[in-house]
Structure 1
Amino acid sequence: MPAAIDHDARRIALAEVAADLVAAGGAEAATVRAVAAAAGFSTKAVTHYFADKRALMLLTYRHAALGSKARTEASQPAEGGDIAAMLHALLPTDPTVERDWRVWFSFWGMAIADPEFAAEQRTRVRELVGRIGDVLACDPACAHLAADERQPAASALLAALVGIATQVVFDPEAWPAAEQVRAIDSACARIKRQAAPSHPALSQF
C-alpha cells in the first residue's frame, strides 16, 4: 500500500522552497519549474498543489505571515505584555526572519498592480497592527495609553519596524543586529514616554 501523503505538509514545504528562491532572486525566481527542481519534484507534482505561480506566491506570503505571528506569540510572557520583545522577534537579525522580510517586500511589489494581492497585503498589515495594539494594552509600561491611542501607536511602531527592515535588507553592513535593536528600542521608548503619566509634583509648574 502506498504511503499516505500529508498534503498540507507538502504545500508548506513547497512554500518554504519558494520563499528561499524569492529571498535569493526575487519573485521572478520562484517559477513553478524552479520550485519543482529545488524541491526535487516534477513540475506536475507542484501544479497538483498550485494552479500557477500566482497561487504559489500567495501561499508563500501567507506562510511567511504565519511565521511572524508564531514568533511574536512566542516572544510574550505568560502574563502581561512586552512590546519590545514582540518587535525584537520581528527584526531581521537572523536569516529566517530576513528571508521572510524579503518575501514580504517581493509580494508588496506584486500587490501594487494586483487587487487580490493588495487586499491580502492590507489584511496582513491590519492584523499585525492589531496584534501590536493588543500587546500595548497588556504591557505595564504602556498601561496609560488610552484605548483610542493604541492603534496610532501600533501603526507608528510598525512603520518604524518596516523602515528598519527595509534598510537591513538593502544596506546590511550599516544595520548589524545591535543597531536594529537600538533603533526599535528608541521607537518603543517614545511610545512609553507618551504613555507615562506626568509626575503629580511636576503638574504644579
Structure 2
Amino acid sequence: MPPDIDQDQRREDVARTAAKLVAERGMGAITFRNLAAEMGCSTTAISHYFTNRDEILAETYRYVAARAGQGRKPPPGADARARLQSIERILPLDAGTWDNWVIWLCFWTEALFNPALARQQKEYSRGSRRMIEDLLESVGCPEPLAASLSQKVMTTLYGIAVQAAFDRESWTPAAQRAALHDVLQPVFDLIPEAATP
C-alpha cells in the first residue's frame, strides 16, 4: 500500500480485499496473512489500521452494505415504474449482486455468534426495510400497505437469495424477478403505467 494513501482509504482497501476473499473462499479466508498476501504488503501494514480480526469484519460489513446501497438507487428522474423496479437491484441477479449476497450470507452466520456483527445486521436490515417502505410510498402506495408490504418484500428477497445460493439453475434472474413481482403486484396495480411490467 503506497504511503501517500490516507487512513480511510487504507481501511477501505483492506475491507474491499476482505470482501473479495469472503466472496471467493468464505469467512475463514479473512486472516491478516491472507489479506497481506492478497494486497502485496506486510501484516504490519494491516495491523497498523486494525487491531484484530473483528475490526476487519465490522469494516468489511460496512463497506459491502455501502457498496450495495449505491447500486440500488433509482436513476434520477425515474418514473414510478422504474423506481419500483429498482428493488430488483437487491436480488442476486449479476456477478456484483451475487457476490454481495454470498458475503451477506457468510456474515449472517458469523453474526449469530458475534454480538457486534448481529447489531450491524439488525441495523442494515431495518435500514433496507425503511428504504423499501419509503420507495413504496413514493410511488403511491398507502402508508399502512407500504409498512406491511415492505416486510413481505424483505422476506421475499431473503428467501430468493438463500434459495438461489444453492440452486442457481432454478433461480434464474427471470425467476427471481417473477417471484418478487408477485409480492409487488398490489403496488403495480396502483400505477397505471406499471400495471403490466
Render the CA deviation track for 1:82-111: whole Å, top value 9, x for unaligned: 454222211111111111111111111111
Check the 8 A contact 1:161/1:184 in 2, yes or no.
yes
1:147 paired residue among 134, 137, 143? 143
**TM-score, structure 2 as length reference:** 0.87
- Structure 1: how far apart are the matches of 2:188 and 2:174? 21
Aligned partner of 1:158 in structure 2 is 154
Question: One-letter code of the match for 2:51?
Answer: A
Question: One-letter code of the match for 2:131?
Answer: R
Coordinate RMSD, CA, aligned: 2.0
Question: One-letter code of the match for 1:112?
Answer: L
**TM-score, structure 1 as length reference:** 0.84
Which stretches of structure 1, 4 residues or more, deviate above 3 A after TM superposition?
Answer: 79-84, 190-193
Render the CA deviation track for 1:124-149: whole Å, top value 9, x for unaligned: 0010000001100111xxx2x33233
**Counterparts in 2 of 1:109 and 1:29: CA distance versus 1, 3 Å:** same
Aligned partner of 1:45 in structure 2 is 45
Percent identical: 30
Aligned partner of 2:194 in structure 1 is none
Q: Larger Cα Rg: Structure 1 or Structure 2?
A: 1
**Counterparts in 2 of 1:178 and 1:38: CA distance versus 1, 3 Å:** same
Check the 8 A contact 2:84/2:135 in 1, yes or no.
no
Question: One-letter code of the match for 1:162?
Answer: Y
* Farther off after superposition, 181-190 or 97-106: 181-190
Check the 8 A contact 2:93/2:173 in 1, yes or no.
yes
3-state SS of the aligned residue for 1:49?
A: coil
How far 1:191 moved relative to its partner?
Answer: 4.5
3-state SS of the aligned residue for 1:4?
A: coil
- Structure 2: how far apart are the matches of 1:94 and 1:11? 26
- Structure 1: how far apart are the matches of 2:19 and 2:45? 18
**Counterparts in 2 of 1:3 and 1:114: CA distance versus 1, 3 Å:** closer
* Farther off after superposition, 80-89 or 30-39: 80-89
- Structure 1: how far apart are the matches of 2:42 and 2:11? 14
Aligned partner of 2:184 in structure 1 is 188
Render the CA deviation track for 1:144-183: whole Å, top value 9, x for unaligned: x332332221111011111111112221122222222222
**Counterparts in 2 of 1:124 and 1:101: CA distance versus 1, 3 Å:** same
Check the 8 A contact 1:71/1:89 in 2, yes or no.
yes
Aligned partner of 2:169 in structure 1 is 173
Question: One-letter code of the match for 2:185?
Answer: A
How far 1:79 moved relative to its partner?
Answer: 5.5
Count of aligned pairs: 189
Instruction: Give the gaps of 5 or more residues in structure 1.
Output: 197-205
Check the 8 A contact 2:111/2:117 in 1, yes or no.
yes
Aligned partner of 2:77 in structure 1 is 78
- Structure 2: how far apart are the matches of 1:54 and 1:175? 33
- Structure 1: how far apart are the matches of 2:121 and 2:22? 17
- Structure 2: how far apart are the matches of 1:153 and 1:105? 23
